[in-house]
Structure 1
Amino acid sequence: MELRHLNYFQAVADELNYRKAADRLFISQPGLSRQIKQLEEELGVQLFERDKKHVELTAAGKFLKGEVDFVLNHLETTKQQLLQIANGREGELRIGFLGSASNQVLPELLKKINQNFPKVTTSLEELSNQVQVEMIQKDKLDLGFVRMASVPDELEMKSVYRDTFSLVVPVNHPVTVKNFTSVGQFANESFILFSSDYSNFYYEQILGICRDSGFSPRIKHKSVHALTIFRLVENGLGVAIVPSSLKEGYDLNVRFMEIPGTSRFTELSVIWKPDNRNPVLGKVLEIV
């Protein structure tokens, strides 16, 4: 078995189409079929069910795909780390984050990384909770900043920031900080919320705040981006409930009002995989 066999297998497993996989690999379709046959003979198992119209992974093929994705990703990561080291760096840390982490927590962490480990570079990607979990499981990310109640057993999670909730209204809204006593004052308003795709746990917390005040919110719009939500509020399309820390960094015609009398709060947590082999991760975890 050679590395090319794994690359060829991955292409067919991704495409489930020999012609498309062959085009992606810049080889002939018969040549690709021979390589896959060689791999199956080497392993002693059938990896694909194939007829004239369909290509499907067998149970063994599905298992191998997960392992091959991990191995090839690890090789690519190793290559990138080697290039970093060769260029005088200590390595690269790949960080996923929710947009709400970019206001306070993430800038503070990056500042400390620069101060303590100036030869470490970072790669940042804004992603949903679930995508971060999946990418950390597959070693495609090293750290993630999420809002979740729990993570899979093979990952670690640590709370790094506890935040209150604030209601966001247009700047000319009649309810102000002085006369804001309950979210129930907005029971008849339209709400603009972070989509449950952003964080189902967080989404349920928002609904809980409204239920605590005796109503179910009339949800008019959803988004995974804070700026989009604030723009919609600014234009009078509804009100929103967000982590209070999001009031930093935006210059819009909206008013943030911390919700009074609620015991609910939101936590931003950092997640990672303990057996991640990136040597930079252990150094940065000390800062975290």
Structure 2
Amino acid sequence: MDTELLVSFLEVAQRLHFGHAAHHLGLTQPALSQQIRRLERQVGAALLERTSRQVRLTPAGAAFVIQAQRILVDVERAFAQCRSISAGGIGHIRIGSIGAALNSVTPDFVRHLQERLPGLTLQLTQLDTPPQLAALRAAELDLGVVRSAGPASGIQLEDLFSEPMMIALPSDHRLAEASILTGADLRDEQFILWPRTTSPLFHDQVLAYCQAEGFAPRTAMEGRDIESQLGLVSAGIGISPQPASFANLGRSGVTFKPLRDPPVSTVQLAWLRAAPPPHLADAIAAAHYATQRARPR
């Protein structure tokens, strides 16, 4: 199958307008219509319904959009692998990582993997856990560093390490001099939280901890990234439960304090079971090596 036909189909599927799609592709409208008819003959099904007023996807076309996107991603991945090998390398791997791991284990993991396989080309992207799992299923990532992912269809998980929850406080907060905090200390505080859509398991973990301590957290604000949240903490807006890895950031105006009997979350490697990434055994070994190095002696 000519991938140019897939590109043209996806353009029409996105715009649902042959004229606009043809203009964007640099084709005439008759030439684009001819490409779509060729593709439909190859597929053996009508993908688009056309009238004088509108264009819409057929049920078969809507299903084919997902498959066409995956085919193009797989083709580009194959091209990248071939270019890397042709240039003297041994392949290409796309790695995703949660932000907390980028402040702890991921940089050392990536460095050690490059040392083990110097010809391997790496691409690193920061993503939260749910988008990483979606990207793995869509073949847009090969390997993910995620947090506390539960059983997920088609996804294989390998635990790397567990870390406790800590509390980020303004440096001039009344609790900033305490050696350890309890749930009772937090009862009357305003909380700055991760949105549940961004970090569902950690968000639920915070709520469960507060509930077990006999109170519901009063949410002052939510922040979609750690920089926003710690900025709000530094400004005195509230306190923020965070994975311990973020204490490495050393944000001015913010103090991290441990909790008594804290909840813990687990950082994991994740990959698509049906399509394991290249050099998976080396990647797992490098990640565990980096984890051991990151542990305090």
Give the TM-score normalised by structure 1. 0.92
Question: Contact 2:187–2:217 at 8 Å: present in 1 too?
Answer: yes
Residue of structure 2 in register with 1:157 after alignment: 157
What CA deviation, in whole Å up to 9, does each residue of 1:220-273 have, x standing for no partner? 2112211221111011011100011210132412111111134x2111111101
Residue of structure 1 in register with 2:264 after alignment: 265
Residue of structure 2 in register with 1:112 after alignment: 112
Residue of structure 2 in register with 1:13 after alignment: 13
- Name which of structure 1's ranges 15-24 and 275-284 shifts more when overlaid on structure 2: 275-284
What CA deviation, in whole Å up to 9, does each residue of 1:184-219 have, x standing for no partner? 322222111112122111110011111122111111
Residue of structure 2 in register with 1:30 after alignment: 30
Aligned-pair identity (%): 27
Gap change, CA 1:90 and 1:207, over 3 Å in 2: same
Gap change, CA 1:42 and 1:90, over 3 Å in 2: closer
Residue of structure 2 in register with 1:182 after alignment: 182
Gap change, CA 1:44 and 1:91, over 3 Å in 2: closer
Write the distance in 1 (CA, Å) between the matches of 2:254 and 2:98. 22
Which residue identity is paired with 1:224?
Answer: R
Residue of structure 2 in register with 1:274 after alignment: 273
Compute the displacement of 1:179 (Å): 6.4
Write the distance in 1 (CA, Å) between the matches of 2:148 and 2:260. 23
What CA deviation, in whole Å up to 9, does each residue of 1:54-102 have, x standing for no partner? 3322121122222211111111111111111222222221111110111
- Partner SS state of residue 164, structure 1: strand
Residue of structure 1 in register with 2:284 after alignment: 285
Gaps of 5+ in 1: none
What CA deviation, in whole Å up to 9, does each residue of 1:99-139 have, x standing for no partner? 01111110221121122111212111111222111111121
The count of residues paired between Structure 1 and Structure 2 equals: 287
Compute the displacement of 1:177 (Å): 4.9
- Name which of structure 1's ranges 201-210 and 176-185 shifts more when overlaid on structure 2: 176-185
Residue of structure 2 in register with 1:48 after alignment: 48
Compute the displacement of 1:155 (Å): 1.3
Write the distance in 2 (CA, Å) between the matches of 1:222 and 1:172. 21
Residue of structure 1 in register with 2:62 after alignment: 62
Question: Contact 1:94–1:122 at 8 Å: present in 2 too?
Answer: yes
Write the distance in 1 (CA, Å) between the matches of 2:80 and 2:100. 29
Compute the displacement of 1:40 (Å): 1.9
Q: Is 1:198 aligned to 2:195, yes or no?
A: no
Residue of structure 2 in register with 1:126 after alignment: 126
Write the distance in 2 (CA, Å) between the matches of 1:196 and 1:38. 45
| C-alpha RMSD of the superposition | 1.9
Residue of structure 2 in register with 1:232 after alignment: 232
Which residue identity is paired with 2:147?
Answer: R
- Partner SS state of residue 124, structure 2: strand
Question: Contact 1:158–1:269 at 8 Å: present in 2 too?
Answer: yes
Write the distance in 2 (CA, Å) between the matches of 1:14 and 1:152. 29
Compute the displacement of 1:151 (Å): 4.3
- Partner SS state of residue 248, structure 1: helix
Write the distance in 1 (CA, Å) between the matches of 2:284 and 2:178. 42
Which residue identity is paired with 2:78?
Answer: T
Question: Contact 2:47–2:58 at 8 Å: present in 1 too?
Answer: yes
Which residue identity is paired with 1:167?
Answer: I
Give the TM-score normalised by structure 2. 0.89
Which residue identity is paired with 1:284?
Answer: A
Q: Where do 4+ consecutive residues of structure 1 move more than 6 Å?
A: none
Compute the displacement of 1:15 (Å): 2.6
- Partner SS state of residue 70, structure 1: helix
Which residue identity is paired with 2:70?
Answer: F
Gaps of 5+ in 2: 288-297
Write the distance in 1 (CA, Å) between the matches of 2:114 and 2:44. 50
Question: Contact 1:92–1:280 at 8 Å: present in 2 too?
Answer: no
Write the distance in 1 (CA, Å) between the matches of 2:42 and 2:120. 41
Gap change, CA 1:125 and 1:181, over 3 Å in 2: closer
Write the distance in 1 (CA, Å) between the matches of 2:72 and 2:231. 42
Write the distance in 2 (CA, Å) between the matches of 1:4 and 1:186. 58
Residue of structure 2 in register with 1:100 after alignment: 100
